[in-house]
Amino acid sequence: MVNWLNRLTAGLKKSSDKLGGGIADIFNRRKIDAATLDDLEEALIAADIGYAAAAEIIKNFASRRADKDVSLPEIKQMLAENISIILKPCEKKLEFNAAVPNVVLMIGVNGAGKTTVIGKLAHKFKDKKVSLIAGDTFRAAAVEQLKIWGDRNHVRVFSGAPGCDAAGLCFDGLKEAAERQDDIVFIDTAGRLQNKVNLTEELKKIVRVVQKAIPDAPHHVLLCLDATTGQNALDQVKIFKEAAGVNGLIVNKLDGTAKGGVLVSVAHETKLPVYYIGVGEGIDDLAEFKADEFASSLLGI
């Protein structure tokens, strides 16, 4: 836990430096008044926390301070607590029911890190009988990457010929997984730009075919978000939820950006569970999302 907290704090340093630096500049200049609160709200928005979430945080902050003099560390602590209030409803554990197999469909735009996340999740659930389906049939590199993760985790990877029908591949892979009585099947999919209608239609087709193979599947439709995209992540959630029924999120690449606050915006606007967050390429750089830990690290405390 301590090691993860250290990685999380280090991973969010760009975001915490931007947000913390802005807050320090504001409160080093003057006392807390209406103008100061406006500036603080702007600092939160600049950190990609979003207009609606920032307004709620400032409202709660203003009501709690009650015109009392507070130090900069106290201000950061109060803001972290208000941010955690927004994040807490999204703190959920990824769980699987007794159905065999449990099907996890991983979706998202190009470069969000879906394949790597699947490999890391396969490692986390190594006590289960896990298999992977290489549903990104457009990129040979994606299939090879998934096979590397499969070898590393000693799990089966079901793949087909390059360019084959992704939906058909998923159907065949799930039928085999059911025969093998796998506990969990992770399905990788091609990276889809959310404004490409034909690609989102193909994703809808995959969902329909998965349901034919296993009637109550997919049990989890996880959208992998790249934190470096900032507020664009909200558009991705909206469109992918409509296309595939997204019911959970994984926020990745938090270490490569100063836009880590977008997770607060996404939580405030979507209320979807955030199961995991990623702060690096290492196999242990993906961990369950904890609201208090994230809020404190975002404020650099």
**Is 173 in contact with 142 (CB distance < 8 Å)?**
no
* 184 backbone dihedrals φ, ψ, rounded to 5°: -135, 135
- Rounded to an integer, the average pLDDT of 202-208 is 91
Could you count the other beta carbons within 10 Å of the beta carbon of residue 110? 11
Please give the pLDDT value at position 205. 93
Q: What pLDDT sits at residue 194?
A: 55
Average pLDDT over residues 144-162: 94
Does the predicted TM-score (pTM) go above 0.85?
Answer: yes
**What is residue 100's DSSP assignment?**
S
Residue 2 binned pLDDT confidence (cut-offs 50, 70, 90): low
Residue 210 to residues 32, 216, 284, 297: CA-CA distances in angstroms?
A: 56, 9, 30, 39
Residue 272 to residue 131: CA distance in whole angstroms: 26
Query: How far, in Å, CA of 44 to CA of 295, rounded?
Result: 13
> Which of 35-39, 169-173, 208-212, 231-235 comes out lowest in average pLDDT?
35-39
So what's the pLDDT on residue 195?
A: 59
Q: What angle do CA 183, 203, 170 make, to 5 degrees?
A: 40
Mean confidence (pLDDT) of the chain? 90
Contact 208, 126 (CB under 8 A): no
Instruction: Give percent of the chain above pLDDT 70.
Output: 95
In the predicted model, is pLDDT for residue 110 greater than 90? Answer: no
- In tens, the pLDDT along 54-98 reads 999 999 988 876 556 778 888 899 999 999 999 999 999 999 987
Q: What percent of the chain has pLDDT over 90?
A: 69
Strand, helix or coil for residue 277? strand
pLDDT in tens, 7-44: 899 999 999 999 988 888 887 655 677 888 899 999 99
pLDDT tens for 282-299 read 888 899 999 999 999 999
